[in-house]
């Protein structure tokens, strides 16, 4: 599993796409937070906090993470190397976990430079250091759980097609449905369908972002990750002849 994890990380940074993906994430966030006028601009809001960043990032990650995961199994299927990989002395679950952890670590690496935003807000506060660190830590924790769930979805969709673009589109669609789709559908039917909101990721992400870690939110995100990791494992496991 460790070998696959290292291979995933090395292959990602061996491609210029890696730097484009990371650069695009940081550039888009920086433009919306510090340059473009609008609801996300920190200077326009008049408050030295990172609420805008944590409202914006889940939407950008919906596109960023599928672009990282889309080649995980799609390339293996396209090149015909998946069957060869499955003959190695390693279980399908270990293969999936290796690719999953590789993609998740890459996402964490992408998020690390945004800690500069925390330092900037710390300096901008009046007085200096006037920032709600509990909420900030909670929001970053929420982003990590959200990213882990997006990654599991992206890994799964990469097994569904040998075409990376198709895998990317399917991952974006499923991530959108899980993040906002259920809440949007619930809003159409009012209180009668309020239970749908709890199925979506947004309500659980918002809960963690308030700085209060609720076991129900943790169980939800862990369950989503396990669900799609299991589905991915079942998808790549060779069927035994009857």
Domain ranges of the chain: 2-234
Rounded to an integer, what distance in angstroms lies between the CA atom of residue 147 and that of residue 107? 7
What average pLDDT does this structure show over 181-204? 76
**Separation of CA 136 from chain center:** 18
User: Does residue 50 surpass a pLDDT of 90?
Assistant: no
**Tokens found for residue 46:** 């008049």
User: Does residue 199 surpass a pLDDT of 80?
Assistant: yes
Name the 3-class secondary structure at 128: coil
Helix spans in 158-193 (H) = 164-176, 182-189
Q: pLDDT-derived band of residue 192, with 50, 70 and 90 as boundaries?
A: low
What average pLDDT does this structure show over 208-227? 90
What average pLDDT does this structure show over 32-45? 79
Q: pLDDT-derived band of residue 133, with 50, 70 and 90 as boundaries?
A: confident
User: Does residue 238 surpass a pLDDT of 70?
Assistant: yes
pLDDT of 210 reads 81
**Tokens found for residue 55:** 């409202």
Least confident of 17-31, 37-51, 217-231: 37-51
Q: Work out whether the CA dihedral 31, 33, 39, 42 comes out positive or negative.
A: negative
**Tokens found for residue 76:** 């293996």
Q: pLDDT-derived band of residue 79, with 50, 70 and 90 as boundaries?
A: confident
pLDDT of 12 reads 78
Q: pLDDT-derived band of residue 146, with 50, 70 and 90 as boundaries?
A: very high
pLDDT of 193 reads 59
User: Does residue 104 surpass a pLDDT of 70?
Assistant: yes
The end-to-end CA distance of the chain, in Å, is 29
pLDDT of 240 reads 65
pLDDT of 191 reads 64
User: Does residue 48 surpass a pLDDT of 80?
Assistant: no
Rounded to an integer, what distance in angstroms lies between the CA atom of residue 131 and that of residue 128? 8
Q: pLDDT-derived band of residue 190, with 50, 70 and 90 as boundaries?
A: low
Integer-rounded Cα Rg, in Å, for the chain is 19
User: Does residue 218 surpass a pLDDT of 70?
Assistant: yes
What average pLDDT does this structure show over 39-61? 82
């Amino acid at each position: 599993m460790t070998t696959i994890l290292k291979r995933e990380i090395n292959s990602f940074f061996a491609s210029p796409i890696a730097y484009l993906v990371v650069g695009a994430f940081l550039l888009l966030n920086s433009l919306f937070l510090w340059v473009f006028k609008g609801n996300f601009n920190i200077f326009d809001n008049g408050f030295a906090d990172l609420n805008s960043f944590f409202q914006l990032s889940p939407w950008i990650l919906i596109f960023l993470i599928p672009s990282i995961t889309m080649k995980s199994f799609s390339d293996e299927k396209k090149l015909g190397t998946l069957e060869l990989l499955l003959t190695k002395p390693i279980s399908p679950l270990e293969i999936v976990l290796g690719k999953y952890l590789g993609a998740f670590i890459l996402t964490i690496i992408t998020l690390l430079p945004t800690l500069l935003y925390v330092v900037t807000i710390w300096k901008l506060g009046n007085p200096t250091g006037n920032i709600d660190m509990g909420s900030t830590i909670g929001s970053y924790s929420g982003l990590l759980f959200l990213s882990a769930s997006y990654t599991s979805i992206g890994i799964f969709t990469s097994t569904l097609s040998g075409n990376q673009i198709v895998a990317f589109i399917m991952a974006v669609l499923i991530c959108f449905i899980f993040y906002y789709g259920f809440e949007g559908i619930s809003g159409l039917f009012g209180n009668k369908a309020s239970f749908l909101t709890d199925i979506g990721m947004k309500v659980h992400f918002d809960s963690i972002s308030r700085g209060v870690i609720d076991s129900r939110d943790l169980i939800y995100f862990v369950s989503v990750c396990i669900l799609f990791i299991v589905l991915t494992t079942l998808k790549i496991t060779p069927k035994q002849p009857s």
